[in-house]
């Protein structure tokens, strides 16, 4: 009976052992099929020798080396040699940690054996223990990161290649990363700028405003602002437009912000100059329309008929057009100079250079508000000289001289102009004045009234003599922004 019990127990143990072996074989078969289907490398090493005991087919695809060749000889040292020299310490450290019972994940590069290309891998290494809780095996899972790394590299290249300053942040404006462009511009490293460190590069007057925009962005999911950022090389602040886009998780929560800051300093300066130019254009247009209206009224009062009005009105419009041509060619804060004005007017009259003498300092800058009315006065003088005086008679001569008096009155520089005609056969006494007198009225009445000028106009024995003194821009060389 005892023998029979013993036999039954032995049979039961045998059946249990066979069943356990079947379960083990089934488990190993499932593991084999899983390993062969996986795109990741599954491997097992002996914890003592570090030699591979198991490798899945993905190894051959990623490493470019057959599994039999990979497991031949001292395959641990052979594997270490396939790893980029800079990453070998990480691999060795991971194995030591696994021997001590720790899990380790690390990234490294390998050089493929068949084509020499480099691939990026991420391996998770873990200990496998026996029933006595001793580490006897080391398991690992290797994932190919090459395509992900290439995509990240392309993104990084794009972010570092664009002219904007690029950064990443979490809610509240706490930066987690900034691009090399930011460092080059501000002198702050990515570490210096982390958290709220980036505020150090902002103009002190813009820091509270920036935080206000960030607090609002948490609620609105939108960030856009303008502010001044310090340029490290010049120590000057430049205007930037900053925009950021939120990155959301599956639930719609904002987990990160991706932002750029674009230099708009020159654009803002252009906009400011445009405002000034538009205001100046409006001012000049109003002045010009007033001059034209006044000129038309005066010509109409002294014209004999419509043809006379048309001719004189067209001539004066041409004089104004020449002045506008001078003004339109000026850069910002430039001024028309007197020598340009007088030469332009005399040239338009076709005066012979051998009969005209011009003498005076170049570059005497005229106030913009004086140019049009002074040009009309010179036009009247030149027109009368052509019709009746020095520029219309063979023996006539014209001398125009001018001088600048730095403190000519009211602590302002004055320009003194002397128009002197000679060699002119004057009409007999009592014959009446030349022309209709409008030019003389302009000089003796309009210039003093509109410009505060001091003028004189007289008929000498052989020609007209006229003097005009007017205040001019404060400097003949520096821009005058107050006239």
Residue 483 confidence (pLDDT) above 70:
no
d(CA 32, CA 71): 17
What is the DSSP-derived secondary structure letter of residue 353? G
Tokens linked to 255: 């987990």
Helix ranges (H only) for 39-145 are: 58-63, 67-70, 75-82, 88-99
Q: What is the largest CA-CA distance in the chain?
A: 173
Indicate if the alpha-carbon torsion angle 348, 352, 356, 361 is positive or negative.
Answer: positive
The confidence band for 282, taking pLDDT boundaries of 50, 70 and 90, is confident
Among 335, 355, 474, 453, smallest CA distance to 411 is for 474
Q: Identify the helix (H) or strand (E) that includes residue 265.
A: helix 265-302
d(CA 55, CA 45): 9
d(CA 392, CA 426): 12
Residue 285 confidence (pLDDT) above 70:
yes
194-232: b (≥16 Cβ within 10 Å) or e: bebbbbebbeeebeeebeebbeebeeeeebebebbbbbe
CA distances from 255 to 140, 170, 171, 241, 244 (A): 31, 7, 8, 23, 13
Indicate if the alpha-carbon torsion angle 67, 68, 70, 76 is positive or negative.
Answer: positive
Residue 415 confidence (pLDDT) above 70:
yes
Task: Say if residue 137 is exposed, middle or buried (CB neighbours under 10 Å; 0-12, 13-18, 19+).
Answer: middle
Average pLDDT, the chain: 83
The confidence score (pLDDT) of residue 152 equals 65
- In SS3 terms, 390-418 reads as CCCCCCCEEEEEEEEEEEEECCEEEEEEE
Among 100, 77, 95, smallest CA distance to 140 is for 95
Q: What angle do CA 118, 122, 125 make, to 5 degrees?
A: 130
CA distances from 25 to 18, 31, 35 (A): 10, 10, 15
Tokens linked to 136: 């006897």
Phi, psi for residue 125 in degrees, rounded to 5:
-115, 135
d(CA 59, CA 43): 9
Residue 77 confidence (pLDDT) above 80:
yes
d(CA 315, CA 312): 5
Q: Out of 273-287, 363-377, 400-414, which region has the weakest mean confidence (pLDDT)?
A: 273-287
**Per-residue model confidence as pLDDT tens digits over 185-209:** 999 999 999 999 999 999 999 999 9
**Per-residue model confidence as pLDDT tens digits over 459-474:** 989 999 999 999 887 7
Residue 125 confidence (pLDDT) above 90:
yes
d(CA 193, CA 178): 7
CA distances from 201 to 210, 241, 435, 481 (A): 12, 14, 71, 32
The confidence band for 51, taking pLDDT boundaries of 50, 70 and 90, is very high
Tokens linked to 410: 């009211």
The confidence band for 482, taking pLDDT boundaries of 50, 70 and 90, is very low
CB atoms near residue 438 (< 10 Å): 21
Q: What does DSSP say about strands 397-409 and 412-422: parallel, antiparallel, or unpaired?
A: antiparallel
In the chain, the percentage of residues whose pLDDT exceeds 90 is: 38
Residues in CB range of 175: below 8 A, 6 or more apart: 167, 168, 169, 193, 194, 195, 196, 197, 198
- Which residues lie across from 262 on neighbouring strands? 241
Residue 479 confidence (pLDDT) above 80:
no
The confidence band for 327, taking pLDDT boundaries of 50, 70 and 90, is low
Please state the rounded mean pLDDT for residues 327-331: 61
**Per-residue model confidence as pLDDT tens digits over 24-44:** 566 666 666 655 667 889 999
The confidence score (pLDDT) of residue 189 equals 94
The confidence score (pLDDT) of residue 371 equals 82
């Amino acid at each position: 009976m005892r023998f029979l019990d013993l036999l039954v127990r032995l049979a039961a143990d045998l059946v249990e052992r066979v069943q356990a072996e079947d379960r083990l074989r089934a488990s190993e078969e499932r593991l084999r099929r899983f390993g062969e289907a996986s795109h990741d490398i599954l491997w097992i090493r002996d914890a003592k020798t570090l030699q591979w005991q198991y490798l899945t087919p993905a190894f051959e695809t990623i490493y470019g080396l057959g599994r039999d060749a990979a497991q031949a000889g001292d395959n641990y040292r052979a594997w270490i040699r396939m790893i980029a020299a800079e990453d070998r310490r990480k691999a060795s450290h991971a194995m030591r940690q696994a021997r001590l019972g720790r899990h380790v994940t690390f990234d490294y590069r390998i050089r493929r054996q068949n084509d020499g290309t480099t691939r990026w891998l991420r391996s998770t290494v873990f200990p496998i223990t026996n029933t006595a809780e001793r580490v006897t095996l080391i398991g690992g899972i290797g994932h190919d990161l090459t395509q992900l790394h290439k995509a990240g590299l392309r993104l990084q290249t794009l972010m570092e290649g664009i002219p904007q300053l690029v950064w990443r942040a979490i809610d509240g404006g706490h930066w987690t990363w900034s691009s090399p462009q930011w460092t080059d511009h501000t002198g702050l490293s990515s570490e210096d700028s982390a958290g709220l460190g980036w505020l150090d590069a902002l103009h002190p007057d813009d820091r509270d405003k920036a935080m206000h925009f960030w607090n609002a962005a948490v609620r609105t999911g939108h960030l856009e602002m303008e502010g001044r950022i310090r340029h490290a090389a010049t120590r000057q602040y430049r205007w930037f437009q900053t925009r950021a886009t939120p990155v959301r998780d599956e639930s719609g929560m904002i987990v990160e912000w991706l932002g750029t800051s674009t230099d708009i300093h020159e654009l803002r300066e252009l906009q400011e100059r445009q405002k000034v130019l538009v205001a100046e254009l409006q001012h000049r247009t109003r002045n010009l329309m007033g001059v034209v209206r006044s000129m038309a009224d005066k010509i109409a009062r002294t014209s004999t008929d419509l043809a006379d009005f048309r001719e004189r009105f067209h001539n004066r419009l041409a004089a104004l057009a020449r002045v506008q041509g001078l003004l339109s060619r000026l850069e910002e804060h430039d001024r028309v100079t007197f020598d340009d004005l007088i030469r332009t007017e005399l040239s338009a009259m076709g005066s012979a250079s051998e009969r005209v003498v011009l003498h005076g300092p170049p570059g005497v800058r005229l106030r913009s508000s004086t140019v049009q009315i002074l040009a009309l006065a010179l036009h009247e003088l030149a027109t009368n000289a052509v019709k009746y005086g020095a520029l219309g008679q063979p023996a006539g001569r014209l001398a125009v001289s001018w001088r600048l008096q730095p403190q000519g009155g009211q602590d302002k520089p004055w320009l003194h102009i002397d128009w002197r005609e000679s060699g002119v056969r004057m009409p007999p006494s009592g014959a009446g004045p030349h022309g209709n007198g409008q030019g003389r009225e302009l000089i003796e009445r309009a210039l003093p009234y509109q410009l505060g000028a001091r003028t004189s106009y007289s008929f000498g024995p052989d020609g007209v003599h006229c003097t005009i003194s007017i205040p001019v821009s404060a400097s003949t060389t520096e821009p005058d922004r107050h006239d």
